[in-house]
Structure 1
């Protein structure tokens, strides 16, 4: 899936890396925090689900369904950021993660809308899934 995306669209490839790599690396690095454990588990589940969606329907706009758990995770992270004090680097990572998740959820909502209007795959993926 990652190689397919890289061949089809470099911008999406880099966005995926900027979104997922910090979640996994930060989740491991800050693993002694419940927030990091939650982010890591949700990221791994999301990547597994994304891979399965891509196998069934390459470049489907439904790929955002792999982020459904973020709808629970994001408000909880915002709550944790607002209520509890955290070390600087951990808090910076939580803010980065929360912002990238929020932006991605906006993209996902737009993709689901477009899917409902008949645009089943991304325009940039034309003739590149095989």
Structure 2
């Protein structure tokens, strides 16, 4: 057990925190995907994109030990301290990722519908 703990001591704390956060976010999004599949098609996809944007939009924290942090935490901190620039910068980043995700989802939906039309047309034409 001491050998395992000594290995963990050699890894920087920031790397451990980011790894745990990313793995936790992946698990949360995977679980939400199982729920979102049961929702109506556009609502499930949109809710998954919003969850993704809230959990994984990055920003840079302020202070002397600044590092990468989720924009949601910056947004909450801005609301608690009533700093308008902090609120708007983090909210705009989250909304940008949400909009980008919805655009990619729209393009993916169009691609899949065209692909389905091609499959249906191939089946209906006699050889």
Query: TM-score band, normalised by the shorter chain?
Result: 0.3 to 0.5
Larger radius of gyration: 2
For normalisation by structure 1, the TM-score amounts to 0.35
